[in-house]
Amino acid sequence: MKIGLVAEPWWVNLAVLVPVAVYFYCRRSAIRITAKQLVVVGVFATAFGLVEACVVVYLRAATGLLPGYPGTLSDVARLAPQTQLLGELPRSLVSLEVMREAATMVMLVSTALLVPASGKNRVLVFLWAFAIWDIVYYAGLWATIRWPQSVRDMDVLFLIPEPWLAPVWFPVLVSALTLVAILLTRTTAAKA
């Protein structure tokens, strides 16, 4: 059985190590993140994930990449694959998309910095928010425009520093495993 790379560029595949690193780095030391903090950050990340999904729908509609617009949002399922959409966007909108992605990271980091705790706890809060945001983003796209049609659909994950491409299942799996790792280390640390 041949195992190949899932994502491009090659180093994006290393994201699968994030939940493993979280688990082994944090399982023995005290984590000072309360359940309330995780819930509040989770609510923010959920709302933000939905906003991001809406922005993508608006971007497609504004550029004429939403077939049938102003028809039903589910018409987008007949679009070209996500990876081809990047070539369809005007350069100016690609620049705006890069700025939006950078602003997203700044917002998620800012949320983590609000936690009065150590650097490690702030990293965990950032990863918690990022993982929830990522999963809700895809759920929001599916709920509004029925994309992705399959978790095997390719997506442009980020544009910074260059386009990251992967099937949808890859970032969703990494995000879900990161949430599990944080919950397990929080529970393990609480028992210690």
Position 146 in a domain: yes
Query: Which phi and psi (to 5°) does residue 156 adopt?
Result: -90, 110
pLDDT in tens, 9-61: 999 999 999 999 999 988 877 677 888 889 989 989 998 998 898 888 877 77
Contact between 147 and 140 under an 8 Å Cβ cutoff? The reply is no
**Residue 9 falls inside a structural domain:** no
Using pLDDT thresholds of 50, 70 and 90, give the confidence band for residue 96.
confident
Q: List, in sequence order, the alpha helices (H) in the chain.
A: 17-26, 35-62, 82-88, 91-113, 119-145, 169-191
Structure tokens at 25: 């780095």
- Unique residue bearing structure tokens 């928010």: 129
Residues with Cβ < 8 Å from 57, sequence gap 6 or more? Answer: 66, 73, 76, 141, 144, 145
First to last CA, the chain: 41
pLDDT at 68: 55
Q: What pLDDT sits at residue 108?
A: 82
More confident residue, 176 or 163: 176
118-131 core/surface letters (b: 16 or more CB in 10 A; e: else)? eebbbbbbbbbbbb
Split at pLDDT 50, 70, 90, the class of 77 is: very low
With respect to residue 48, please indicate whether it lies within any of the assigned structural domains: yes
Q: 72 is written with which tokens?
A: 């039903």
For residue 151, being part of any structural domain is answered with: yes
Least confident of 63-72, 152-161, 170-179: 63-72
Residue 25 covered by a domain: no
Contact call for residues 115 and 122 (beta carbons, < 8 A)? yes
Residues 157-173: tens digit of each pLDDT: 998 899 999 999 999 99
**Per-residue pLDDT, 11:** 96
Within a domain: 180: no
Range of 99's domain?
Answer: 35-172
| Whether the Cβ atoms of residue 19 and residue 178 lie closer than 8 Å to each other | yes
| Contact (Cβ atoms closer than 8 angstroms) between residue 97 and residue 159 | yes
- Residue 147 lies inside a defined structural domain of this protein: yes
Split into its structural domains, the chain has a count of 1
> Do residues 74 and 68 touch, judged by C-beta distance below 8 A?
no
Asked if residue 77 is part of any domain, the answer here is yes
